[in-house]
Copies of this chain bind each other. A is one copy, B any other.
């Protein structure tokens, strides 16, 4: 029987579980609701029970299970230590030891943004490159960095936090992190909406955006694709900051490719091309014209990356 492994992606609302072979084929996937009550560690117990059930159901033999990769929404140190997962009500603990004692399997933990990056590197938009940066544009902006095929964790688990690159000293509004002018304030779904609202408030100029009711990032990109001038302005501004941020990343680590994921990336070519334009204007010649790709794994990127973490 072939060797397999599990990739788990623990989120605030759902826990996703994938079963993979060593080549990266997703053999099966499931999910269940994240338990919000009781000690946050119930989430680990639930996940362990769930896996043990699936192992029984699928009649997997322990010698064929390489292990379990677990992605969690917070910084994970190299040794599996998690200092705090405020979202899930968890204090300092070692997630690898905890899950290992619950399942009897080898366990490797990884931060969820890093898991998404590793997943896209392994089987998604970053496939074929050894040095890749994933920028995930969702409610916030996350990042993950792959160097020579390995995720860059950083000395305290905070590498790849590109959403909080300080890009605009003139910004007056505060980011969720407490600073002002972070990438996340411009290139997240909410950031793009904020930019568009600001542009609409500054002028009485006609715009199809004014007919949209509650604005969304999707509506803004759609209007921009249809040539709406103010929507295009909003897209230019968001991509200006994304291009600048990725230029900073390039000057530091010199990657081969950037992969753009998250809900905002559904905008497609206009997002990629506009970001590339600004990126090229901000990097030195040796770093110009790197590859820009769209993420392809969607919400499964996390389970792919968690699985890859245990295989690596």
Contacts and interface: CB of A to CB of B under 8 A. Distances in A.
A161 B135 CA distance: 21
Contact of A251 (B153, B162, B178, B244): B162
B75 A160 contact: no
Contacts of A158: 251, 254, 284, 286-287
A145 B154 CA distance: 12
Contacts of A244: 166
A157 interface: yes
A152 interface: yes
Given A155-B254, A162-B251, A286 B131 contact: no
A252 B159 contact: yes
A156 B254 contact: yes
Contact of A155 (B75, B178, B255, B285): B255
Interface string A209-225: 00000000000000000
A253 interface: yes
Contacts of A166: 244, 247-248, 251, 282-283
A147 B156 contact: no
A118 to B, nearest CB: 16
A160 B284 CA distance: 12
A256 interface: yes
Contacts of A287: 156, 158, 161
Copies of this chain in the oligomer: 2
A152 B253 contact: yes
B251 A164 contact: yes
Nearest to A182: B284
Contacts of A155: 130-131, 254-256
A45 interface: no
A252 B253 contact: yes
A253 B253 contact: yes
A284 B179 contact: yes
A288 B12 CA distance: 27
A267 interface: no
Interface in A241-278: 244, 247-249, 251-256
Interface string A184-197: 00000000000000
Contact of A252 (B249, B282, B286): B249
A254 B162 contact: no
Pairs of residues from A and B, 4 with the lowest C-beta to C-beta distance, nearest first = A154-B254, A159-B254, A158-B254, A166-B282
Interface of A: 75, 130-131, 145, 147, 152-162, 164-166, 177-179, 244, 247-249, 251-256, 281-287
26 contacts: A147-B147, A154-B253, A154-B254, A155-B254, A155-B255, A157-B254, A158-B251, A158-B286, A160-B252, A161-B252, A161-B284, A161-B286, A161-B287, A162-B252, A164-B251, A164-B283, A165-B251, A166-B247, A166-B251, A166-B282, A166-B283, A178-B284, A179-B281, A179-B284, A248-B248, A253-B253
